[in-house]
């Protein structure tokens, strides 16, 4: 219904657009990346009482119907069905390995959010002038219940690139405190980055 009747789908060019990773833009344009289109499908289907879940195949997010592995729907392909052979081919092309049962297990909300933020970060990383978007994605990532500590260092480096040296130094210091128990050498290298950021204030 969402594909054939409402026109929700994806095209190769959507991978180059930031709007394809923003839910409100996907709803407006009815186009986007596989994971955001899948989110729309999942929420609509659940409200209709359908047993659906997200499936985070490597490189291509799809929607599962029923028990894990029963039926796979590709919202990027306007709702086309993805059979086991096609799913296995996709996994093999992306990872070089086979399609294992764990690949078909339902993706939780936190995993979906992390993957969306990863897509936004990847988009911004390939565009050095868009540090604003990269910083936004990093700050959203830090709000998640669990996040890699390294994300603080990434945020600090983005702040340096944007000229916010004082906040960058403070973030470097916070990260150094986190990693000190694991590696004093790493903590000292991070503190050196903090000193470097402060030095640029002069």
pLDDT, tens digit, for every residue of 60-75? 999 999 887 789 999 9
> What are the residues whose beta carbons fall under 8 Å from the beta carbon of 33, sequence distance 6 or more?
10, 14, 15, 20, 21, 26, 61, 76, 119
Domains and CATH numbers, the chain: 12-107 (no CATH), 109-199 (1.25.40)
| Residue 69: Cβ-neighbour burial (10 angstroms; 0-12, 13-18, 19+) | middle
Percent of the chain exceeding pLDDT 90 equals: 74
Q: Please check the confidence at residue 108 and state whether its pLDDT lies above 90.
A: yes
pLDDT of residue 154: 96
Axis crossing angle, helix 109-125 with helix 34-47, rounded to the nearest 10: 150
Spatial distance between the Cα atoms of 71 and 57, rounded to a whole number of angstroms: 14
Give the strand order in the sheet containing 80-82: 80-82, 71-74, 60-65, 52-57, 106-107
Q: Are 176 and 190 in contact (CB under 8 A)?
A: yes
Count Cβ atoms below 10 Å from residue 91 Cβ, excluding itself.
20
Quote the tokens at residue 172.
Answer: 């470097």
At 199, is the pLDDT very low, low, confident or very high (cuts 50, 70, 90)? Answer: very high
> What are the residues whose beta carbons fall under 8 Å from the beta carbon of 174, sequence distance 6 or more?
152
Q: Are 142 and 177 in contact (CB under 8 A)?
A: no
The alpha-helical segments, DSSP class H, found in the chain are: 23-29, 34-47, 84-95, 109-125, 131-142, 150-161, 165-179, 184-199
Tell me the average pLDDT of the chain.
93
Of 2-11, 94-103, 121-130, 156-165, the poorest mean pLDDT is in 2-11
At 1, is the pLDDT very low, low, confident or very high (cuts 50, 70, 90)? Answer: low
């Amino acid at each position: 219904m969402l594909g054939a009747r409402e026109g929700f789908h994806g095209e190769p060019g959507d991978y180059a657009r930031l709007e394809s990773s923003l839910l409100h833009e996907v709803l407006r344009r009815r186009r986007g990346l596989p994971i955001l289109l899948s989110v729309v499908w999942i929420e609509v289907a659940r409200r209709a009482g359908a047993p659906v879940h997200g499936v985070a195949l490597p490189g291509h997010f799809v929607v599962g119907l029923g028990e894990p592995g029963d039926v796979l729907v590709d919202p990027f392909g306007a709702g086309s069905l993805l059979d086991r052979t096609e799913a296995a081919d996709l996994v093999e092309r992306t990872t070089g390995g086979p399609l294992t049962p764990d690949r078909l297990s339902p993706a939780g909300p936190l995993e979906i959010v992390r993957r969306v933020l990863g897509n936004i970060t990847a988009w911004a990383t390939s565009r050095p002038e868009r540090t604003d978007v990269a910083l936004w994605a990093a700050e959203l990532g830090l709000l998640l219940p669990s996040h890699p500590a390294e994300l603080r260092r990434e945020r600090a480096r983005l702040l340096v690139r944007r000229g916010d040296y004082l906040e960058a130094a403070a973030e470097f210091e916070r990260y150094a405190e986190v990693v000190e128990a694991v590696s004093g050498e790493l903590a000292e290298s991070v503190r050196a980055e903090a000193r470097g950021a402060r030095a640029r204030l002069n």
